[in-house]
Amino acid sequence: MKNSYQILPVSEGCLYVKFGENISPEINRQARKLSNYVEKHPFAGFIETVVSYTGLAVLYAPEVVRKAGKNKMNAFQIVGELMEEYLPQMDSMPDEPSRVVEIPVCYGEEYGPDLEYVASYHGLSQDEVVDIHIGGEYLCYMIGFCPGFPYLGGMDERIATPRRETPRLAIPARSIGIAGSQTGGYPISTPGGWQIIGRSAVDMYDPAAEHPSLLQAGDLVRFRSISVEEYREIRGEAL
């Protein structure tokens, strides 16, 4: 299949290869594939890649790229041309297989302060929102926003809810939320604008691990609804 893409400058040290305008497994698959390809074929000045829904960010040190580059092109043009060469070549590479990961979540009340808002926004009961949320299998499109934060696709449009107008200054660690038609979780306490519907009982981020993030782009994720008692048992908290 022939790729359609745009190469856009983000900063002096970052460009974005954009494969599409919407959240789709196929668009994201191309971003993950280019990521693998660039990592296997690093260039002078290459720092890292970041997969996101619609494309791949490539980060580089412009002074190193320029030193190794040619003529009077700037770093964006040099790396951009390289991506144009990589894109047709990556199609010959096989896809990486997906892992399946289950996350136990305690929904609503103190752990999900926005569940009531999400339910009333759609004229559903809170239980119906939870049933819809645990009914899905979600593709982890990308990790970002904060350490180990997964952006999950495949959420049912019946519970899609806009972000809060003003972000909260602190959201508790492991909160599970909704933003538009995206769902995901906050592995650490951080400011953020998502609607919070529950809390994961398992850590989503461990800085001492070789791979600090529980999830990675390309994983398949399921949620399981658990009681407050089970949540506390998993966390090792007193009842």
Partner 1 sequence: MSFKVLSPGLMSTLQDFGRQGYQKEGVNNSGAMDIISLRLANMLVGNDEHEAALEITLAGPTLEFTADTLIAITGADLSPMIDGIGVKMNRPVAVVAGSVLKFGGCLKGCRAYLSMAGGYDVPMVMGSKSTYVRGSVGGYKGRALAKGDVLGSGQAGSYARHLLKNLLCKGARSFRAASWYVSLPHLSGKEMRHPIGILQGLQMGAFSDESLHDLLTKQFTITNASDRMGYRLEGPRLLLKEPLEMISEIAVLGTVQVPADGNPIILMADHQSIAGYPKIAQVIGADLPRLAQMRPGAKISFREVPLKEAEEQLLEMERYLSSLKITLKHKA
Query: Which one, 135 or 180, has the nearer CB to partner 1?
Result: 180
Binding-residue total with partner 1 (CB under 8 A): 60
The interface region with partner 1, picked from 4-12, 91-99, 121-129, 225-233 by CB under 8 A, is 4-12
Query: Cα(100)–Cα(214) distance, rounded to whole angstroms?
Result: 12
Is residue 16 a contact point for partner 1 (CB under 8 A)? yes
- Closest among 156, 152, 157 to 222, alpha carbons compared: 152
> Site for partner 1 (CB under 8 A): which residue of 33, 38, 45, 62?
62
Query: Cα(172)–Cα(97) distance, rounded to whole angstroms?
Result: 32
Restricted to residues 205-224, the positions that interact with partner 1 (CB under 8 A) are 205, 207, 211-213, 216-217
Is residue 47 a contact point for partner 1 (CB under 8 A)? yes
DSSP state of 180: B
Query: Which one, 158 or 229, has the nearer CB to partner 1?
Result: 158
Query: Cα(175)–Cα(192) distance, rounded to whole angstroms?
Result: 11
Please, what is the minimum distance in Å from the beta carbon of residue 95 to partner 1? 17
Secondary structure of residue 33 in the 3-state scheme: helix
Tell me the backbone φ, ψ of residue 114, rounded to 5 degrees: -100, 5
Please, what is the minimum distance in Å from the beta carbon of residue 199 to partner 1? 18
**Token pair 């650490």 in the structure block, residue:** 188
Query: Cα(131)–Cα(117) distance, rounded to whole angstroms?
Result: 16
Is residue 179 a contact point for partner 1 (CB under 8 A)? yes
Amino acid letter, 30: Q
Query: Cα(162)–Cα(216) distance, rounded to whole angstroms?
Result: 25
Query: Which one, 108 or 148, has the nearer CB to partner 1?
Result: 148
Restricted to residues 139-158, the positions that interact with partner 1 (CB under 8 A) are 142-149, 151
Is residue 190 a contact point for partner 1 (CB under 8 A)? yes
DSSP state of 109: G
**Under the rule (CB under 8 A), what is the footprint of partner 1?**
8-14, 16, 21-23, 35, 47-55, 57, 59, 62-63, 66, 74-76, 142-149, 151, 162-163, 165-167, 169, 179-180, 182, 187-191, 193, 205, 207, 211-213, 216-217
